[in-house]
Amino acid sequence: MQDTAFSVWQNISGSGMLLALYVCAVIFLFYTEKETYKRILLVYLPLFWIGVLLLPFTYNVVAEVMDVEVYYRFFWMLPVTLVIAYTAVQVYHMYQGKHRALVALGLTLVMVLSGDFVYNNWRYSKAENAFHVPQTVVELCDMMHAKGREVLALFPEELMQYVRQYDSTICLPYGRNVLVEDWNMNHPLYEMMEAEVVDCDALGEAAVTYHCAYVVLREARETIGDLTASGYVLKGSFGGYQVYYNDEVFHDL
Amino acid sequence: MGYVMLFLWLMILPFCAGGLFCTKKNRISFGGQWLWGQFVLWAVFQIIAVYYILKQGSLEDVIRAYWMITAVIAVGGLALALKLWMDGYKPVHRKTFLWIKEHKALFFVFVALWLIQMLALLFLAVNDGDDAYYMAIASVAESSGNMYTANVYAFGGTELTYRYALAPFPIWIAFLSKISGVHTLVIGHILLGMMLVTMSYVIYAQIGKVLFGDNFRKRIQMLIWVAVLFIWGNTSSHTAESFLLLRSRQGKALVAGLVFPAMIYLLIKIGHCLEQNRKITFREFLLAAVIILTGCLGSTLGGVLVILLWGSGLLFLAIGYKKWTLLPLGMLSIVPGLVFAVIYLSH
């Protein structure tokens, strides 16, 4: 289904509860806030931008001039967090005595239940080192690093994105761009590396053609043929990966 | 020694530079001085880095120029702050300490929530595919001096992509790594996250100060609820809170988590001055230009959006208070940011 301005906003809002909370906060401030500048900046200005950004016209204009995938960033102009937190303080101070503790607890609960706990995000994992990249990548890169020069290496897709972040002298024949479907980037080596059964004879020949001094293979991946036929020797195993090295290719680059 | 250099560049020099915003009428806190000083240094970095990137210079050129200009700004800011200090105008931190003492429990709740985020930044790694570009740009620049003309995904060179080259936040990470010797990943994944999240709270603290005045109880309560919304704000990976906590080393997080709240702060401050019939000084418009340039450092689109926010906010205030003189100065303050937008559009 094609995106619209409203669907972009819905996607940002998740279940929509936090968005509903924001709308309630704006309505509350509309009726209670007395100071002009607060009304202007916390009520009218956000309402203006919500109106403008949800117009199909605005969405279409943005789509004409740039990649519309970034449309969600336009909604960052809305001070959602500030308005909800400010309103919560105002609501809390409308009450007196022991009711206040209940109000504070209630407001906090509403926020917690409307939102999503960030540390449940699938992107998080326990850091394996101070670099916050997999330790296998650190060990592999340290082993491959050659002082004063670059080295080309072929990595499986799950490690690829970390390599040049950790050590920029280790280059890849292709990078993370082949993983992004929308970019339609293909590379013959990538197809060979990620095949269900890796043909090591063909892979070895292609890796030599692309000047890859190192080839990193998953130990668990089924293979046929042998990389040694193309001049590679097994250098060792690191965290579930086998590393092959070709001295001739290394010195030819 | 590396961490001492980072402390100097991330704490001491910004604090000194922040002296530029200290005046007799505008007594800012230590936190505010550090915050706005860092924004000034980011704005300066944006101008210098983009100049050398477009000239196809190296990171060393950027470092040389940035060192000199930062030194001048920091000395100037420090001199201004010291002069005020000697004239008897002390920063407002003493009052803050008394308030903290008075509202210990609330303050510790906030500190606990802040600490959770700091510990998470230290011990949890975040898998984000965009790092393959942004952090690799930093890594390549740090090791070879090359800025945006190396193919960071793979091998070889590439043409300058203006969309990225005009928002050189990764080069700032490379700069920090180069002058300190600390790995770009340690800076990007841990230290920067800690710094930006903390700065974001300082911005909300500044906003609270304007909205609630001397009512410290309300100010700290607002900060607590802001922290709750940060931690539970992950309704999608595209919220400002998600960007700040998950992808703080990417310029987009700088825009989402710091630049927009900073601009909202400035608008609120100007609105507060208008409400109280107080004069709006040139410094407010200078700060707007600085915030816009920092937005450009984070993302090209971010720079444009922050200009839109500033322009629309100022227009609404001008209409609300019938203060049309705000508009010419407001227009003037967007000029530096517009230059980058024009460069982008002309390529």
Split at pLDDT 50, 70, 90, the class of B153 is confident
CB contact, 8 Å: B129 with chain A?
Answer: yes
pLDDT at B260 over 90: yes
CB contact, 8 Å: B180 with chain A?
Answer: no
Contacts of A133 in chain B (CB under 8 A): 125, 185
Min mean pLDDT across A175-179, B58-62, B182-186 is at A175-179
For the residues B130-153, what does the mean pLDDT come to?
92
CB contact, 8 Å: A44 with chain B?
Answer: yes
pLDDT at B251 over 60: yes
The single residue listed with the structure tokens 């703080």 is: B248
Contacts of B261 in chain A (CB under 8 A): 79, 82
Closest Cβ–Cβ partner in A15, A35, A179 for B275: A35
- The ipTM, to two decimals, is 0.94
For residues B173 and B62, give the distance between their C-alpha atoms in angstroms, rounded to a whole number: 12
pLDDT digits (tens, 9 = 90+) for A173-219: 988 878 776 666 778 889 899 999 999 999 999 999 999 999 999 99
> Taking the CB of residue B288, how many other CB atoms lie within 10 A of it?
28
pTM for the predicted model, two decimal places = 0.94
Which of B135, B151, B166 to mutate against chain A (most A CBs within 10 Å)? B135
Domain limits of chain B? Answer: 2-345
pLDDT at B95 over 80: no
For residues A61 and A56, give the distance between their C-alpha atoms in angstroms, rounded to a whole number: 9
For the residues B310-337, what does the mean pLDDT come to?
95
Of B275, B345, B339, nearest to B307 (Cα)? B339
